[in-house]
Structure 1
Amino acid sequence: MNKGNTSSVAVKHRETSISAPRGRTLAEMIRSGPAPSEQLKELLAARGLHTCFSYPTLALFEFNAAELATNAGIGGGHAPSDLQNMIERHAPGNCAVFMDEIGHISVLFSWDDRAAIVRLHALLQSYYSRIHSLTITAGIGNPCQRLSELHLSYTQAANALKHKFYRGLAEVIYFNHVSPYTNTANYPEDKEDELFRLIHDGQPDGIEPAVEEFYKALLQDGPLQREEVNNCTIQLLIGLELRIKASIGQTGSAVRQDMTSAIHLQTLTEVKRYAACCLKHLAELNGSNENLNRIIIKKALSCMEGEYEKATLHYVAEKVYITPAYLSTLFKLNMGVTFIEYLTDIRINKAKKLLKTTHLKNYEVAEKVGYSDPRYFSQIFKKKAGLSPSEYRDSLEWPN
């Protein structure tokens, strides 16, 4: 990306952007409605930002909040500032970068530079996914004739971000590429009936395509607000559970799914996968809650063993389609230890193997088993093994 003679502008931007009130003033002025173009130019100039744009456009960048909440590598409170600094370093020089009061990083650019904004997103996504296992979504509003219309582009970019539920995470979403929401949800009862038949007859292989057909029918008139999709998903899962219970004459809870998990899923693809998994369990378990819990724990353990370096409570819970709180409770009841205690044992055992069989440095071992802080890794290792990583390696008999 061409920095040209913009290094002084970028440095000045970083110096002035530490002033939070000024940042909020610029964002609030744009968000609140039409503002005189000259007033916006003066404010941009006062902050050392670029002021001339051809068809000014706003892009909004945000982290996946669910990932950020459970990420130990980058503190949630500092993450927006970290992202802002990264964007300031790598954005084209003729952009203005600022943060709004809800943590979005806004990039004001000329419409002709939109390809550079897409490349910027790709660079950011590559970095944060590799270093912190985080995803970044960007929403881009429509271009404006003048700066005084930026409030429209901001609103459009924010609405584009909401469509990540349909378009997926780690994407660049243009407002002019998304469909308007439809107002009414027509619940496809015939598709629920088909799913009931498959579950009742013990045909789990047909459930996944039937779930696809359910959501295809639900959304045939256009995208629904996320809350409506959640409501219909909960209606589907609870309704089918009750129907299966009634069909086999059960009066108690047949299959106690943690239905609220659907509310916390980030994309429609995840919702479909979650619904299909729940309904397959329903078909396979013959009404046994204990069997369901065993299957969930077995899958969780498999995930922890196979992906220990990036496993977190939230990550594993997503893999088995339940909430982190529910997985934590199940884990303690079934395994006799907490989730983090079990994961720590896995990681330390893997670290011991690496210390014994490789010449990796201690910090490299720490990274490979999921610890970004080598000092914290050493503390945990010594607590579990009774020796520091270096002492443990020295105690081994290495072949000549």
Structure 2
Amino acid sequence: MRKVVIVDDEKWIRRGIIQSIPWERYNLVLAGEAGDGQEAYELVMALQPDLLFMDMRMPEVDGKALLALLHQAAPDLLKVVVSGYSDFEYTKEAIRHKAFDYLLKPVKKEELAAVLDKAVAELDRRDAEREAPAEGGREALLHRLLFQEETAEQPLPAAWLPSGGSSTVQLAVLAGQPDVYRDAFDHRALAAPVLEALQRSRPFLFGGRWEAGITSAPGPSREIVVMVTGERLIPEHLLKLGQQLQTALKQAAGVSFSLGASSILMAVGSREMSGAIRSAYAEGKQALKQKRLLEQGVIRTAGKDPGCPSPVYPQELEDAFLLALQLGSRTAAASNFERLFAAFSGESASVEHMQRSAAMLLHAIEKQLQTGGIGLEEACGKPVLAYAEMISCRSDAASVKALFESVIIPGALASAASTGSLGEKHGEKVVREVQKLVEAHYDQPLTLHQIAAGYFMNTDYLSRLFKKMTGHNFVDYLTDYRISKSKELMKHSAYKNYEIAQKVGYEDYRYFSQIFKKKTGLTIGQYRLAVQRSEERML
């Protein structure tokens, strides 16, 4: 039976998850519980579980730190993050440290069941690969060498090593993806025709003394990965091999592929070769991401093809889009999204820049939805981590744009309409809190943009709410409050004028003097004289 560990600092939440898991159905057993990250780490090291459910907010070692530790110490452990805080920072950490999935509290039984189905399927797949026979299992072995740490010292097939007793080998990796995203795509079916094409090329490349292995990456990206080994690999021949690989892939899949080619690396012995294979794959994958969006059927080489300069993220266009989304305007949201997406997916943009920008927009939408008390999962049907994975496996702009236009934006607009009263009440609460913030920190630099970011709200939207509730825009409200405080100090203290300016938030005394006269109709000297005469009359 497969072992499960559950980590949360609140016992009642751990109990709820334990009671919700149909243990026998999934052939699972509860191996242990932990109330904080340090205890969880020690438990994982001692028990070596297959599956971990973990909270993010915990004392001592929190979820982010625990993910980082386990990413290194237990890379094959399936980690499911369970948290009530689905904001960008936590989700980003979950993605960076390869969390398997993400659940929001309170955990719903049907969502838990879906994650368990997915987890057990992944564990079954891993078991099947581990049990694959040594003969004829080159694809499975390459897959394990690339993606499973425990195979780092596994002996390599003799066919991948040079003949004549030499322990030194040269290797390179080609990583490929279709230029147009296809939802239903059987990457495993490509292995046989691709290997057949490579075999036909054997006599004409690298002096005929080379071998190749092919596999596909796990997860949603499913890059095609081809490793080439030989005594002496020639860069020009590697490029020809890539072109022949593209031809074979297009014939087998019916769609063009672009490739990222690693540099040619040298390794000595099995252990060094395993590390070199991973390094070469990382180079090839990164080179592939540097492809321009409009390019098709290209081969990008690590270290030779300069990456595309990343345009500045269009923050102003994002602000306009988010405002339209928050106001529930479908027409404005559609037109603003069109301009925003075009800005980060133009001719010069790389795949990497487009994916990163789309992920930033995704998390901005998630934050904004949270101001109305919901998240992407409630609005669109899947958690933010799932949509981030969908973006990461799409290398063409059209499929990413379609994901937003067909699923994410309609869901967010529908939620804005259905939760309008809730969002308005939340907005009124925020405005009251902003007023208290001004009263407590009027002597500090304050901007509405800074405050809006703290509440995950669009600045223009908060500005409209503030004006609607108070009758003043934020700057006027803050200025009026500061001037009123300066008047109090002039009446009841012996502070000098420049000291008063500093105490109400103005470092520039001359600017403070101008603002004071504009708001009161008097200079500071005239006001203080009037106050003095008034006090004398009272005596």
| TM-score between both structures, scaled by the size of structure 2 | 0.34
Looking at secondary structure, tell me which structure has more strand per residue.
2
TM-score (norm 1): 0.43
Higher relative contact order (CA 8 A, sep 6+): 1
Task: Kindly name which structure, 1 or 2, has the bigger radius of gyration based on alpha carbons.
Answer: 2
